[in-house]
């Protein structure tokens, strides 16, 4: 596993910083300095196993996370709610969360117990080299998907699904897990929709995100060996479809993956 870069693609850090600068009137050099300072500090304080510091990929993730916070803050405010921002934890090899220990092999994850997003930057190289999904927006989609799980926690969806899974069969519980994951894909698309409206995406960025969603579908990861009853994240077609749904609508209400017939 390895890291991505900031330079290419329309979702690069520089474009985001310039857009934020235009919206807020803040000196872009100040924003760049803040990105350089905040990301390493957060890595040092949150990653006991020693995540890389001063890393362009870490700065990219920090800026993407910051844009999701701005977007979800506005969406929540429009509906009379307050958005509680998650904490980003960058790590290498392994990490301990309130949900238990995890290794890099587990991939990025969100822990609702401590409301933190955990990410080993090496997953970005894995996404490129192993899954064939390169590009800045593919990486941004990964961050936005985990933030989508945080949105579910803030809205109480995670708790409701956990309660609904009690007493269900394994297949029934897995179906609800699939619905959660597909909804997080759709919520990632909602963020992407608003990023696109701010001019942060190029025409090829959407294709990068859809390719990344399809690359990590249960059917593709298991090469068709797993039955649908054991799926936990959804098929490649489902994941790409729900990401596209969010990208097209930009509306959180369009992400109800729990309705009958959505699978």
Q: Which residue has the higher pLDDT, 10 or 88?
A: 88
- What integer pLDDT is reported at residue 3 of this predicted model? 25
Q: What is the mean pLDDT of residues 69-92?
A: 95
Is a pLDDT exceeding 70 seen at residue 257?
yes
Model pLDDT, residue 145: 94
The two tokens of residue 134 are 């390169």
**Does 101 score more than 90 pLDDT?**
yes
pTM: 0.73
Q: How confident is the model at residue 197 (pLDDT cuts 50, 70, 90)?
A: very high
pLDDT score of 77: 96
Return the beta strands (E) in the chain as ranges.
87-90, 94-97, 100-103, 109-111, 116-119
What 3-state class would DSSP assign to 219?
A: helix
Cα–Cα distance between 65 and 51 in angstroms, integer?
A: 17
**Residue 133 Cα distances to 123, 186, 211, angstroms:** 11, 18, 6
128: three-class secondary structure by DSSP: helix
106-126, pLDDT tens digit by residue?
888 999 999 999 998 888 787
Q: Is 51 left (phi over 0), alpha (psi -120 to 50) or beta?
A: beta
pLDDT of residue 182: 93
Return the pLDDT at 7.
33
């Amino acid at each position: 596993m390895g890291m991505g870069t900031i330079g290419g693609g329309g979702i690069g850090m520089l474009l985001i910083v310039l857009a934020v600068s235009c919206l807020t009137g803040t000196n872009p050099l100040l924003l760049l300095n803040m990105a350089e300072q905040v990301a390493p500090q957060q890595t040092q304080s949150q990653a006991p196993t020693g995540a890389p510091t001063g890393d362009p990929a870490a700065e990219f993730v920090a800026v993407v996370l910051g844009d999701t916070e701005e977007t979800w803050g506005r969406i929540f405010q429009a509906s009379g709610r307050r958005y509680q921002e998650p904490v980003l934890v960058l790590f290498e090899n392994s990490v301990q969360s309130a949900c238990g220990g995890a290794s890099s092999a587990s991939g990025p994850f969100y822990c609702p117990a401590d409301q933190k997003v955990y990410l080993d930057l090496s997953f970005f190289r894995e996404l490129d080299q192993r899954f064939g999904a390169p590009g800045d927006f593919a990486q941004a989609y990964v961050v936005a998907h985990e933030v989508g799980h945080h949105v579910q926690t803030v809205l109480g969806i995670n708790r409701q699904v956990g309660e609904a899974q009690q007493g269900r069969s394994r297949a029934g519980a897995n179906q609800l897990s699939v619905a959660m994951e597909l909804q997080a894909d759709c919520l990632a698309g909602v963020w992407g929709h608003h990023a696109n409206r701010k001019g942060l995406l190029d025409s090829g960025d959407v294709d990068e995100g859809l390719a990344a969603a399809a690359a990590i579908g249960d059917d593709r990861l298991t090469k068709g060996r797993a039955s649908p009853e054991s799926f936990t994240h959804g098929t490649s077609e489902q994941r790409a479809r729900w990401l596209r749904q969010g990208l097209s609508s930009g509306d959180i209400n369009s992400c109800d993956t729990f309705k009958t017939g959505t699978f």
